[in-house]
Structure 1
Amino acid sequence: MSNPHNPVRRRVLGSLAAGIAVAAFSRRATADTPPAVRIGVATAGGGNPITWGGSPGSVARLNRWLEEALEPTGTKVQWLFFKGAGPAVNEALSNRQIDLAYQGDLPAVVGRANGLKTRILLASGTRNNLYLVTPPDSDIRSVADLKGRTVSIFRGTNGHLVAINVLAAHGLTERDIKGVNLDTGSAQAAIASKGVEAAFGGQEWFKLRDQGLAKIVYSTQGQDPRFTRQAHVLARQDFIDEHPDTVQRAVDVFVRAADWASDEANREALFELWARSGVPHASYVAEFENQQLDVRNSPLIDEFVRARYHGVVQDALALKLIRREVSVDDWFEPRFLQQSLAANGLAQRWSAYAADGSASAASVARS
């Protein structure tokens, strides 16, 4: 019988125990690390590789920062783009086909009202403007002229409610127009061919304006910030519960991208990067004219962002786009963002804004 007090045997047993402990730790790490993180983007996108513009998230996409952060841990990064925008992203979330998503405010609210268990991690492109465009020779000169006209609105997207609120501010309702539900590409084709008389949309319209195929007759730029659209990065609740370390790494990357995209020294480089989506550099120059990058690209979940989501819920209820009240405050999950800001010395990087969009709360409220 071997002697249990033999020093050689003790070393062998000790090494074996250590090996078992390391193996057990490795198994836990592997179990907690997903083989892939699938990120849905609420736009068809463009370019090669496919990307989008107007959001810090696309900076991370084009620089492959998420891949750099996650692939060494064994997690593959997959980007999925949806021509059907926010509603299509909701369907993918419901079917567990994606884990994280870049999405606008209204479709996310609709998804939450329909039972999707998601948490908003950070803002990613706020105060996006809305434009009303017509064919160049149209006699439409203002929003008030839309009564009885054929107007394209991409229903279910974060521009839908803003368009309705713009109509209301000019004494009209959606029933006063002949609304046509067209996605972004179809709306552009319809304006160019005069298949519709007017259309609401975003910075994609500057390209057609500059080509002489459309004219912009109304813009929310420089007006009440409550007439703007908000976007964010969210995640499925179960993915957060199962893979919090992966979520933290992803948020760290999105915050890094927001920091770079908020630096005025990078303005031209940022627009050139976004132009790789197929939307011209000049369109982003026009969209961001006289606007600070660190306001538009802030990741903070401040009182303005919270108020806008509360407002979207109430507007969606009033218009029967959702059938029940949904909570907002417990929807935000800022702990990953707060950890990232603290760890990277960015706690004071961005100003927080009051519910009405003013800077009065900037020195007090921090996300």
Structure 2
Amino acid sequence: MTFSRRSFLRGAQAAAVAAFAAPFSGAAHADTSRTLRIGYQKGTPLTLLKAQRSLDKPLAARGFDIAWTEFPAGPPLLEAMNAGSIDLGYTGSPPPIFAQAAGSRIVYLAAEPAGPHNEAIIVLDGSPLKSVADLKGRTVAFARGSSSNYLIVAALEKAGLTYADIKPAFLSPADARAAFEGGKVDAWGIWDPYLAVVQQTLDVRTIADYASGIVQPYSFFLGAPDFAKAHPEVLSDVLSQVARGDAWTTSHRGDAAQLIAREIRVPQPIVERYLARSTFGLLPVNSTVLGAQQRVADTFRRANVIPRAIQVADIAHPVSFTR
């Protein structure tokens, strides 16, 4: 199988733009009252459920069908949720913090651990930059409000630098890839599966990830408050299937990689690469999880990245699930 360096990211971006527009158009589902509208990103636990169609039967038994919408990153996904276009989604740690600080209507439902190498700040192999300290005065690409935004802020703080010491380039994964490869930016903060793609297709070096002594946050399943209040049993069904999918993936990573690769149209070795370094296991939104998320929010506030202090526990809406 041949694989273009740019095809995956460009395709993901184009699909996401089209998908994001659909809920606002006349082509949207005529009656969403009995439709669970799920926003997902490539390679996340929801991708496996979509590939396996494991939600179809339990939700059909409750009289619900499913509409899937793909997004290139967490911030636009939560913008769509706040706009009333999706009911459930999955993102990294920072997007809900930015959304809450902006007054968006979202709630935390459940959490997932993240692997220490599933996200990184990378440079081209020939770059003179050797450490985070070398980023001072340099241009760093990342998606604003994404999970990489936190990695960059936390890595700078650990290195004795501030957010003001770099020149941020707020770019989508596809645009960041082009700028990075073309030498228009000095470094790039990016997550899997995009990270696995670039590691497979370019000569790059990691100068920081969560194995660099940075406290790692969780990822989250998030919901629209009205839907979460009205249909907790539907969300419980989804999360229970996520928990079972996580358990299955842990012991069947090769099979899971095959399914996900087919679903997201990425070569299987790339999916195998990031699944091998991933951590699985659905978690309730408890005091430990919320405490870790509050530390992320406080880090952003110290760096003046978000406009006000927030209490993440204010939008916690834990949903029960079974394994």
In the alignment, residue 323 of structure 1 is paired with which amino acid?
P
Inter-partner Cα distance in structure 2 for 1:325 and 1:179: 22
Q: Is the 8 A contact 1:317 1:323 kept in 2?
A: yes
Q: 1:126 to 1:210 in 2, by over 3 A?
A: closer
Residues 1:245 and 2:233 aligned together = yes
Partner in structure 2 of residue 202 of structure 1: 191
Query: Superposition pairs for residues 292-311 of structure 1, below 5 Å?
Result: 296-301=279-284, 304-311=288-295
Deviations along 1:103-128, whole A, 9 cap, x unmatched? 22211112222333332221145245
Partner in structure 1 of residue 36 of structure 2: 37
Deviations along 1:89-116, whole A, 9 cap, x unmatched? 2221222111111122211112222333
Q: Is the 8 A contact 1:57 1:257 kept in 2?
A: no
Q: Is the 8 A contact 1:57 1:124 kept in 2?
A: no
Structure 2 gaps, min length 5: 1-31
Identify which of 254, 259, 266 aligns with 1:268: 254
Inter-partner Cα distance in structure 1 for 2:267 and 2:146: 22
Deviations along 1:3-49, whole A, 9 cap, x unmatched? xxxxxxxxxxxxxxxxxxxxxxxxxxxxxx942010112x4xxxxxx
Q: Is the 8 A contact 2:180 2:186 kept in 1?
A: yes
SS across alignment from 2:205: strand
Query: Superposition pairs for residues 154-165 of structure 1, below 5 Å?
Result: 154-165=143-154
Partner in structure 2 of residue 328 of structure 1: 312
Q: 1:173 to 1:321 in 2, by over 3 A?
A: closer
Partner in structure 1 of residue 97 of structure 2: 109
Q: 1:82 to 1:209 in 2, by over 3 A?
A: closer
Inter-partner Cα distance in structure 2 for 1:223 and 1:280: 29
In the alignment, residue 176 of structure 1 is paired with which amino acid?
D
SS across alignment from 2:69: strand
SS across alignment from 1:210: helix
Displacement of 1:223 in angstroms is: 3.9
Q: 1:274 to 1:305 in 2, by over 3 A?
A: farther
SS across alignment from 1:40: strand
SS across alignment from 2:122: strand
In the alignment, residue 36 of structure 1 is paired with which amino acid?
T
Partner in structure 2 of residue 349 of structure 1: none
Partner in structure 2 of residue 131 of structure 1: 120
Deviations along 1:286-333, whole A, 9 cap, x unmatched? 4455x5x6xx21111355422221112211222233333322335333
Q: Structure 2 length normalisation: TM-score?
A: 0.80
In the alignment, residue 233 of structure 2 is paired with which amino acid?
D
Inter-partner Cα distance in structure 2 for 1:111 and 1:245: 25
Structure 1 gaps, min length 5: 1-32, 44-51, 347-367
In the alignment, residue 216 of structure 1 is paired with which amino acid?
R
Residues 1:215 and 2:204 aligned together = yes
Inter-partner Cα distance in structure 2 for 1:139 and 1:132: 14
Q: Is the 8 A contact 1:127 1:225 kept in 2?
A: no
Q: 1:307 to 1:287 in 2, by over 3 A?
A: farther
Q: Structure 1 length normalisation: TM-score?
A: 0.71
Q: 1:235 to 1:222 in 2, by over 3 A?
A: same
Partner in structure 2 of residue 144 of structure 1: 133
SS across alignment from 1:257: helix
In the alignment, residue 46 of structure 2 is paired with which amino acid?
G
Q: CA RMSD in A?
A: 2.5
Q: Is the 8 A contact 2:87 2:223 kept in 1?
A: yes
Q: 1:208 to 1:106 in 2, by over 3 A?
A: closer
SS across alignment from 2:283: coil
Q: Is the 8 A contact 1:188 1:205 kept in 2?
A: no
In the alignment, residue 93 of structure 2 is paired with which amino acid?
D
Look at both structures and tell me which one has the larger radius of gyration over its CA atoms: 1
Count how many residue pairs are aligned between Structure 1 and Structure 2: 288
Inter-partner Cα distance in structure 2 for 1:217 and 1:328: 31
Bigger relative CO (Cα 8 Å, ≥ 6 apart): 2
